[in-house]
Amino acid sequence: MAAEANPGRLARAFDSDIGWSFRRTPAAWISALVLALIVAASFAAPLIAPQNPYDLRQVFIDKAELPPLWSAGGEAPFVLGTDPQGRDVLSTILYGTRVSLVIGLASVLLSMAIGVTIGLIAGYRGGWIDNLLMRLADTVLSIPTLLMAILVSAIFREMLPPAFREPFAAAVIVLSISLTNWVQYARTVRALTMVERKKEYVLAARIIKVSPLRIMRRHILPNTMTPVLVAATLNLGLAILSEATLSFLGVGMPITQPSLGTLIRIGNQYLFSGSWWLVVFPAAQLGLIVLSVNLLGDWLRDALNPKLH
Amino acid sequence: MAEANPILIVENASCRFDVSGPWLQRIATGAPRRELKAVNQVSFSVPRGATFSIVGESGCGKTTLARMIVGLQPPTAGSVRFGEIRRADGTVGPPRVQMIFQDPYASLNPRWRVGDIVAEPIRELKLRATEAETAARVAELLVTVGLSAADADRYPHAFSGGQRQRISIARALATEADVLVCDEPTSALDVSVQAQILNLMVRLQKKLDLTYILISHNLSVVRHMSDQLAIMYLGRIVEIGDADTIFNGPLHPYTRLLLDTIPDVESPNRARAPLSGEVPSPINPPPGCAFHPRCPMAEAACSRTVPELMPRPRRSVACLVLENSEGAADAQISRSTPSA
């Protein structure tokens, strides 16, 4: 985001309180660095991965189930070993990370969009609209997240004709995660909106008959974004985990475009036959991503909280 | 106070709020509907270019009245109307009304630059055709209120309370306002800054022919600014009229006690009768004259009959005791000797 701004702005961001706190918190910049490396590597996967594991011309069945390079029987290009189909584990992790990250990010953005909109309307209008929307939120919250996600993804899967199931698998997962995760944003934004709408700058806009939609978008929304961004960062980790869980349970990404969760599910079947590398490395990658995201979110929450300075 | 051509006419305006509990609870407990009469049958008119002050304790309905005048709160009965005026540019029409708020820290959007805050009314009301003209007008307004044109690029947090109030005034003027409703415009400011803001308001009034509706509990400010004065108690006007006349010889017992609270440098240790008791709840006001439980002059009739505003020279007063005692208009009791 900052890269397209002018250099003066970048320097100012670096010099600001947040920038200072970022440099002074090792957990923040280390996790940001790790995350940046993971993101860069996964999106550059076609360029840097030893093979494209989904191109059958590059996969050799005689190289199946090789252990990692450093154990007995490991072979040269396959640093983290291969799976029973002869696919390089490092490559599948790089490609799988990309799927996981995209789904995680997309579901955070979608749930944020749904939640912020509902929260703004409920908080600004109040009355029966507020009541209706918030009871809907309570209902969603009373159903276990995972159960809800499985239900939603099962319903969408049944609604789609079989030919569309695989290409739209990612969209279905994003939707099923978002439909359960928007509540937190809605509640946060609603509470803040109820405070902001009584403030005098909103009254000043109402006196000159600025339309409610404009007031919500231009006045109230910017003043509710700080906690929403913190929640979104922390939820990114949760969304990636939710996707992994769904995929692990077999209602997520199909084997043809596996995410980290799918890889863990497949690897899990070979765990007791001794091929530990099939499950350990994708799981470690997943753990690393979620840990980095959470550490970054924790730092952001503290850095943006003026009461902690 | 019948003015030939008033800019603002408030007629029997009332504002009631339904404060009863949720209907389910009402049915379950048999609790009656409860109503809060924030403003009760208030009438007055304001001539153009005047400063009309509304004074009263907290909770007397001043702010609700202000919100009714700017249109944020429709009156539940009666009306708030505006007279046609001829502006400096020759156009004739109802005046534009804007508000200046009490809290300079909540009245400016912290995420907007000052230039955008002041430009918002210009853009919303399409008062200027181009962005360049808008920017020029913003710069002009900032200079008018005593800031510099360069301040347009800064955010509100860079300004002090007094400067923020100046920005607030600039935003109100940006609408080409003719009537400014000022709700405690200086009560959140330091005393030294209060004077600057008040002087700015007086200067702008003369320059732009503004009409002020000033709401305050600071009687020194009111005395400094007002042409006309209305004293409110529990949603009703108890005394209204020429500000100097009322300040020099308050008639209503509430006004007398209220004015008695102004500190006097001349006689710092004068005997004062402090106003005892609290404002009764407007949900369940006392019968008759709402002030009678606290009134030193109250008679038996005061708890039965609601007093009407009775015209007297240069003012009107709503008090049964004064009505009954003949020639009460002469009984101008000096402020330094409060009646028993």
Share of chain A above pLDDT 90, in %: 28
Using the predicted structure, report yes or no on whether residue A186 has a pLDDT greater than 90. yes
Residue A42 belongs to domain spanning: 20-308
Helix (H, G, I), strand (E, B) or coil at B9: strand
Contacts of B175 in chain A (CB under 8 A): 208
State chain A's mean pLDDT as an integer: 84
- Residue B1 has what pLDDT? 42
Sheet holding B211-216, edge to edge: B97-100, B179-183, B211-216, B51-55, B228-233, B236-242, B315-317, B310-312
Question: B123 CB near a chain A CB, below 8 Å?
Answer: no
pLDDT-based confidence at A8, cuts 50/70/90? low
Using the predicted structure, report yes or no on whether residue B336 has a pLDDT greater than 60. no
Nearest to B338 by CA among B295, B307, B299, B292: B295
Amino acid identity for residue B264 in this structure: D
Residue B220 CA, chain-centre distance (Å), reads: 14
Strand partners, B44: B10
Identify whether A1 is part of a domain: no
Cβ proximity of A110 and A152 under 8 Å: no
Instruction: Out of B22-31, B144-153, B183-192, give the one with best mean pLDDT.
Output: B144-153
On the CB side of B3, CA atoms within 13 Å amount to 18
B120 min Cα distance to partner chain A (Å): 8
A206 min Cα distance to partner chain B (Å): 7
- Residue B340 has what pLDDT? 38
- Residue B339 has what pLDDT? 44
Inter-chain residue contact A203 with B72, CB threshold 8 Å:
yes
Inter-chain residue contact B106 with A201, CB threshold 8 Å:
yes
- Residue A117 has what pLDDT? 95
d(CA B21, CA B33): 8
Count CB atoms within 10 A of the CB of residue A261: 29
d(CA B299, CA B285): 18
Using the predicted structure, report yes or no on whether residue B175 has a pLDDT greater than 80. yes
Count CB atoms within 10 A of the CB of residue B158: 11
Question: B169 CB near a chain A CB, below 8 Å?
Answer: no
State chain B's mean pLDDT as an integer: 84
B85 min Cα distance to partner chain A (Å): 19
Contacts of A203 in chain B (CB under 8 A): 72, 99, 101
Amino acid identity for residue B279 in this structure: V
Amino acid identity for residue B75 in this structure: P
d(CA A214, CA A205): 10
Identify whether A8 is part of a domain: no
Count CB atoms within 10 A of the CB of residue A11: 11
Between residues A80 and B120, which one has the greater pLDDT? B120
Helices (H), chain A: 7-15, 17-24, 26-43, 45-48, 89-125, 127-142, 145-159, 162-165, 169-196, 200-207, 212-214, 221-248, 260-270, 277-303
For the domain made up of B47-74+84-95+178-330, give the CATH fold.
Answer: Rossmann fold (3.40.50)
Domain with CATH 3.40.50.300 in chain B: 47-74+84-95+178-330
Helix (H, G, I), strand (E, B) or coil at B316: strand
CA distances from A52 to A93, B46, B305, B330 (A): 11, 82, 93, 104
CA distances from B33 to A50, B23, B75, B236, B317 (A): 76, 9, 20, 22, 32
Inter-chain residue contact B101 with A219, CB threshold 8 Å:
no
pLDDT digits (tens, 9 = 90+) for B253-293: 888 888 887 777 777 666 666 667 777 777 888 888 888 88
Q: Quote the number of domains for chain A.
A: 1
pLDDT-based confidence at A194, cuts 50/70/90? very high
Identify whether A212 is part of a domain: yes
- Residue A13 has what pLDDT? 66
pLDDT-based confidence at A291, cuts 50/70/90? very high
Identify whether A184 is part of a domain: yes
Using the predicted structure, report yes or no on whether residue A309 has a pLDDT greater than 60. no
pLDDT-based confidence at B333, cuts 50/70/90? very low
Complex-level ipTM = 0.81
Identify whether A15 is part of a domain: no
Residue whose token pair is 């007093």: B307
Read off the DSSP letter of residue B55: E
Token readout for A303 is 């850095």
Burial A156-186 (b: 16+ CB within 10 A, else e): bbeebeeeeeeeebbebbbbbbbbbbbbbbb
pLDDT digits (tens, 9 = 90+) for A260-279: 888 888 888 887 887 888 88
> For the domain that residue A206 is a member of, what is the CATH number?
1.10.3720.10
Query: Residue B180 class from Cβ within 10 Å (0-12 exposed, 13-18 middle, 19+ buried)?
Result: buried
Using the predicted structure, report yes or no on whether residue A218 has a pLDDT greater than 70. yes
* Averaged pLDDT, A123-143: 91
Inter-chain residue contact B72 with A219, CB threshold 8 Å:
no
